[in-house]
C-alpha cells in the first residue's frame, strides 16, 4: 500500500506532489505517510488482536522511532519494544506506560538495566546468564521483582532471509543456546531468585522473512523446551514472544504474503503444541516493526553529477547515499526507484546511482533502467520507512536529512534537518 499516483508526469505520494516536497523541505528527505502506518496497525488488529484471544503486539521501535512515531504507536494501544537506553528514553518521553515497554538487547549495560528497572518497564528480555545475574543484583538493591522473558536461539539450520539479518540460527549473537546445561543454569537461577519472575520465552528468527515455516519450526522447537522445563522445574510458560520480521515489498523479487499468512500459522502451531503437550495457552506476542513502517515512507534525492564512461557505465550521483540509507552497503538491500519529475517518461538509459560519500561502496542502485537523467532531477526511492532513518549517520560529516509526516493531506516536519552546528555540539576543544 504505497498510495502513489502519477499526475502530469509527476509522482504523488500520500496525495503530495513529491517534486514540490523536495523543493520546500530540501533533499535528501524522508517522507512518511501516516495513513499507511495506521492501515498496517489496523490490519494487525483485525488479523490478530480481534481474531484471537490472549495475544499482544509490541512495535519493534528499532525500525523507526522518534517522539511523533512513539506517540502514534502509543495512541494505537500497541506496546513498544526497545533495544537501548536511548530508545527507552524516547518511548517514555513519547508517553508510554512503562508496563507497555519491553526492553531488548544482547549486551545491556548496568546503566541501561538500572534505567529500565528504575522506570518499571513491563518486561526485560534476558539474552544471557550474566545479564540475569546483573538484573537480580539491581532488583535486590531496588527491592523490586523484575518480570523477564528468556530469549533463546531456536538454532534453525536454514532461515529464509539474508545472512546479516538472520537471528535464529545456532551461530547467533542473540539468545541462549538450547544446550541443556545452558538452559538449566539460566532457568534454575531465575526460578530460585526472589527478585526475578520468568514470565516466558522469547525468540526471533530474523527479518524480512517470506516463509512462515521458519516461525512454525521455531515454535515447535520452543514447545519441546517448554515441555522439558515443565517436567524439570515445574515451570509454566505464561508468555511466548515469537518476534517479528514479517516480509514487506521492496521489489518484484519479494514474494510478499499477507500478514495473516504468518499470524494464522503462528496461532495454529501454538494450538497444536498446547494439545500435544497438554499445556496451558500462553499469551502470544508478536513484534512487528518493518511491517508497520517499511512501506510507509519514500526517500527523495536530487541528482547532481551525471558521468558517462563510454562502453562501460553511466553514473548518476545523488545528494545522499550510505549516510541516509546504510542498508544497501550492510546487506545489499534492493529497492524500486523512480524519477519523480519524469514519472511518465520511458526508461531509456541504464545508470548506476551512487551517493556522495567518499566511499567506493556508496552505491544505491547498479544498472537500473531510468529516463535520461539530468542535473536537478528528483529521485524517489520506495519502501524506505524501516531502518533507513534509524541507521542514518554522519560519515564525512554529512548532515542527516529531515523527516516529514503526511497527516490529513498536509506535510509536517517531525525531525528537523541537521545544521552544521549540530556536528560540533558535543565536541570539546582543549
Alpha helices in 96-192 (DSSP H): 110-118, 129-142, 180-192
Q: How far apart are the first and last CA of the chain?
A: 53
Place of cell 506506560: 97
Among residues 23, 237, 253, 358, the one annotated as catalytic is: 358
Paired residues of 402 in beta bridges: 29
Report the alpha-carbon angle 401-403-409, nearest 5.
145
C-alpha cell at 118: 528504575
Residue 392's H or E segment, with its range, is: none
Q: What angle do CA 75, 81, 84 make, to 5 degrees?
A: 120
CA dihedral of residues 380, 381, 382, 383 (deg, nearest 10): -140
* Gap between the Cα atoms of 424 and 203, Å rounded: 40
Distance separating alpha carbons of residues 228 and 322, to the nearest angstrom: 46
Q: Of 14, 9, 18, nearest to 343 (Cα)?
A: 9
Q: Is 347 a catalytic residue?
A: no
Give which of 216, 206, 92, 108 is closest to 159, Cα–Cα. 206
Q: Which residues carry out catalysis?
A: 358
Amino acid at each position: 500500500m504505497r498510495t502513489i499516483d502519477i499526475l502530469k508526469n509527476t509522482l504523488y505520494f500520500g496525495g503530495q506532489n513529491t517534486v514540490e516536497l523536495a523543493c520546500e523541505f530540501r533533499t535528501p528527505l524522508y517522507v512518511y505517510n501516516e495513513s499507511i502506518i495506521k492501515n498496517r496497525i489496523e490490519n494487525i488488529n483485525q488479523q490478530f488482536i480481534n481474531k484471537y484471544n490472549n495475544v499482544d503486539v509490541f512495535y519493534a521501535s528499532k525500525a523507526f522511532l522518534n517522539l511523533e512515531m512513539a506517540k502514534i504507536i502509543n495512541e494505537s494501544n500497541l506496546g513498544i519494544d526497545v533495544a537501548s537506553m536511548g530508545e527507552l528514553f524516547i518511548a517514555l518521553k513519547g508517553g508510554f506506560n512503562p508496563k507497555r515497554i519491553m526492553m531488548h538487547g544482547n549486551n545491556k549495560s548496568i546503566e541501561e538495566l538500572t534505567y529500565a528497572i528504575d522506570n518499571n518497564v513491563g518486561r526485560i528480555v534476558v539474552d544471557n546468564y550474566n545479564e540475569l545475574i546483573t538484573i537480580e543484583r539491581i532488583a535486590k538493591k531496588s527491592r523490586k521483582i523484575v518480570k523477564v522473558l528468556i530469549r533463546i536461539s531456536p538454532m534453525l539450520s536454514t532461515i529464509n532471509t539474508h545472512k546479516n539479518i538472520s537471528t535464529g540460527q545456532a551461530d547467533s549473537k542473540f539468545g541462549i543456546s538450547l544446550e541443556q546445561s545452558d538452559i538449566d543454569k539460566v532457568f534454575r537461577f531465575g526460578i530460585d531468585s526472589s527478585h526475578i519472575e520468568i514470565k516466558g520465552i522469547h525468540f526471533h528468527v530474523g527479518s524480512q522473512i517470506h516463509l512462515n515455516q521458519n516461525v512454525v519450526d521455531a515454535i515447535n522447537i520452543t514447545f519441546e523446551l517448554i515441555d522439558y522445563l515443565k517436567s524439570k522445574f515445574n515451570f509454566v510458560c505464561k508468555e511466548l514472544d515469537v518476534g517479528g520480521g514479517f516480509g514487506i515489498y521492496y521489489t518484484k523479487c519479494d514474494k510478499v504474503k499477507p500478514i495473516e499468512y504468518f499470524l494464522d500459522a503462528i496461532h495454529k502451531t501454538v494450538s497444536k503444541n498446547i494439545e500435544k503437550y497438554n499445556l496451558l495457552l500462553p499469551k502470544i506476542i508478536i513484534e512487528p516493526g518493518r511491517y508497520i513502517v517499511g512501506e510507509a515512507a519514500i526517500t527523495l534525492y536530487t541528482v547532481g553529477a551525471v558521468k558517462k564512461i563510454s562502453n562501460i557505465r553511466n553514473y548518476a550521483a545523488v545528494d545522499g547515499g550510505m549516510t541516509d540509507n546504510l542498508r544497501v552497503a550492510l546487506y545489499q538491500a534492493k529497492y524500486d526507484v523512480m524519477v519523480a519529475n519524469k514519472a511518465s517518461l520511458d526508461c531509456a538509459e541504464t545508470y548506476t546511482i551512487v551517493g556522495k560519500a567518499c566511499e567506493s561502496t556508496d552505491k544505491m542502485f547498479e544498472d537500473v533502467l531510468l529516463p535520461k537523467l539530468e542535473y536537478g532531477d528528483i529521485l524517489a526511492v520506495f519502501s524506505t520507512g524501516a531502518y533507513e532513518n534509524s541507521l542514518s549517520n554522519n560519515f564525512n560529516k554529512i548532515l542527516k536529512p529531515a523527516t516529514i509526516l503526511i497527516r490529513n493531506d498536509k506535510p509536517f516536519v517531525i525531525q528537523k534537518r541537521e545544521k552544521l552546528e549540530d556536528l560540533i555540539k558535543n565536541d570539546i576543544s582543549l
